[in-house]
A and B are shown apart, each in its own frame.
Chain A
Amino acid sequence: QQQVKQSPQSLIVQKGGIPIINCAYENTAFDYFPWYQQFPGKGPALLIAIRPDVSEKKEGRFTISFNKSAKQFSLHIMDSQPGDSATYFCAASSLNNAGNMLTFGGGTRLMVKP
């Protein structure tokens, strides 16, 4: 019930392409869905997050699409750049319960080729 499944595990795109990373969850109590970006040797950093009362959220070149009925959400990176090469993690938590305890997906290693 606590699992968050993320795909693909790795992704290679050309500069300017639109990589899409997908996540699915089972626990219907989840109500907060952040995406984290992690560079080698660094800790994860929050990229963008969404609550289930909206179906899409954009911040710069990053967009989250959320499908509550399917229990799925995805990250789109518009006009991807080599500097976007990193590992991306989706996560979920139930803020209405005891605190923001995140359950992470397995991660997607993205490479953007020049």
Chain B
Amino acid sequence: DAGVIQSPRHEVTEMGQEVTLRCKPISGHNSLFWYRQTMMRGLELLIYFNNNVPIDDSGMPEDRFSAKMPNASFSTLKIQPSEPRDSAVYFCASSWEDFEQYFGPGTRLTVT
């Protein structure tokens, strides 16, 4: 079975551009999480969806960040406009209810 799929794997963009990261959770999972990983701040939870509904977005750093989950098999994390400090690895994870979270391979974002 395929695990969590994220695209793109690498993204390099210029400051001010819009960036969209994509995630396909494991089929049958009903919870989806977006995390950000940096050397300085470690792994941070950005937003949590349950049954396609955003439950907690308190980790979203600011209004430049938005996330959507239009259906059970797809989610996006958008940064507009992007800034150099947004450079990080962004992970998507999914789970069935409160059971084990399975992480995707991540998207390495570089904003120049």
The chain A residues found within 8 Å of chain B, CB to CB, are 32, 34, 41-46, 49, 89, 95, 98-107
The chain B residues found within 8 Å of chain A, CB to CB, are 4, 31, 33, 42-45, 48, 50, 55-56, 91, 93, 95, 98-106
Q: Please classify the interface of chain B as helix (H, G, I), strand (E, B), loop, or mixed, using the class held by over half of its residues.
A: strand
- Cα(A105)–Cα(B102), bound, Å: 18
Q: Please classify the interface of chain A as helix (H, G, I), strand (E, B), loop, or mixed, using the class held by over half of its residues.
A: loop
Whether the pair B42, A101 counts as a contact (CB closer than 8 A) is no
Whether the pair A105, B42 counts as a contact (CB closer than 8 A) is yes
Whether the pair B98, A95 counts as a contact (CB closer than 8 A) is yes
A104-B42, A105-B42 known; A98+B56 contact, CB < 8 A: yes
Residues of chain A contacted by B95 (CB below 8 angstroms): 100
Which chain B residue shows the least CB distance to A49? B100
Whether the pair B50, A102 counts as a contact (CB closer than 8 A) is no
Whether the pair B55, A98 counts as a contact (CB closer than 8 A) is yes
Whether the pair B42, A99 counts as a contact (CB closer than 8 A) is no
Which chain A residue shows the least CB distance to B93? A43
Residues of chain A contacted by B106 (CB below 8 angstroms): 42-43
- Cα(A88)–Cα(B108), bound, Å: 20
- Cα(A105)–Cα(B44), bound, Å: 10
A99-B56, A100-B31 known; A42+B45 contact, CB < 8 A: no
Residues of chain B contacted by A101 (CB below 8 angstroms): 33, 45, 48, 56
A89-B43, A98-B56, A105-B42 known; A43+B48 contact, CB < 8 A: no
- Cα(A16)–Cα(B54), bound, Å: 45
